[in-house]
Amino acid sequence: MKIFIDSGNTDEIREACALGLVDGVTTNPSLVAKSGKPFRQLLDEILAIVDGPISAEVISTHAEGILKEGRELAGIHHNIVVKVPLIPEGLKAVRIFSQEGIKTNVTLCFSAPQALLSAKAGATYISPFVGRLDDISAPGMNLIEDIRTIYDNYAIETQILTASARSPMHFMEAAKIGSDVITAPFSVLMQLLSHPLTDIGLKKFLDDWEKTKK
Ligand code: G3P
């Protein structure tokens, strides 16, 4: 399973890269706003840190505008993946991007039929938001299972990118189900690395080592 970091914070992205955890990056308009940087500057900084797919989201809601924004974004660098909202106008644009060889990440997916239709339109990645489904008491990971089954039934190549992941459980379940990619915030990536028994064990080793000096 590939791991993307869901962040617009370049310090976090750099640190996660140093740990060897990052295959790619996802951003969204909320994360860009949180960074406090102009979108283009932020993308250039991320491109300089990570050599992998970097999702950059359009803000137009009509196909014509989505196509214009997406072509501009894709023209910045071959690693840019155009992130498109899962709305009818978005899928119109995704179909054309696919014909033009522009990679897309179809975002804000909350149902299996939406995922199937996005794949038919030619999406490179589909982003089901598991955490936001959990928020409304609909188990998000069930959606990943359903999409995996449907995509496998028809040998669909669109990659499942588990998004809105908020916990190590989301990560573990996504890996068990066979999600192609998961994107998670830096805090979740750090949670995945830590275990209290590792800390306790290390402390004991170091304490015992000190005794050898007495
Ligand atoms: O990749 C989508 C993700 O950023 C949404 O996460 O936690 O805002 O639901 P969240």
Catalytic residue flag (residue 83): yes
Beta-carbon neighbour count of residue 145 at 10 Å?
17
Q: Which residue's CA lies nearest to atom 8 of ligand 1?
A: 164
In Å, how far are 24, 174, 203 from 14, measured between CA atoms? 12, 24, 28
Q: Please report the pLDDT score of residue 114 as a whole number.
A: 98
From the CA of 166, how far away is ligand 1's center (Å)? 8
Pocket test for ligand 1, best of 7, 12, 55, 132 (most atoms within 8 A of CB): 132
214 falls in which pLDDT band (50, 70, 90)?
A: confident
* Dihedral sign of CA atoms 195, 199, 202, 208 in order: negative
Side chain identity at 60, as an amino acid letter? S
Q: Which long-range contacts (CB under 8 A, 24 or more apart) does 132-136 make?
A: 132/164, 133/164, 134/166
Q: Which residue's CA lies nearest to atom 1 of ligand 1?
A: 163
Residue in the block written with tokens 């840019």? 80
What distance lies between CA 140 and its chain's CA centroid? 15
pLDDT higher than threshold 90 for residue 97: yes
Please report, rounded to a whole number, the percentage of residues in the chain having pLDDT higher than 90.
Answer: 99
Averaged over 164-171, what is the pLDDT? 97
Q: Which residues pair with 106 in a beta bridge?
A: 84, 126
From the CA of 168, how far away is ligand 1's center (Å)? 15
Averaged over 74-80, what is the pLDDT? 98
pTM: predicted TM-score of the whole model, two decimal places: 0.96
Give the residue among 63, 66, 30, 42 at the shortest CA–CA distance from 163.
30
pLDDT in tens, 44-65: 999 999 999 999 999 999 999 9
Q: Which residue's CA lies nearest to atom 5 of ligand 1?
A: 164
The burial of 160, by beta-carbon neighbours within 10 Å (0-12 exposed, 13-18 middle, 19 or more buried), is given as buried
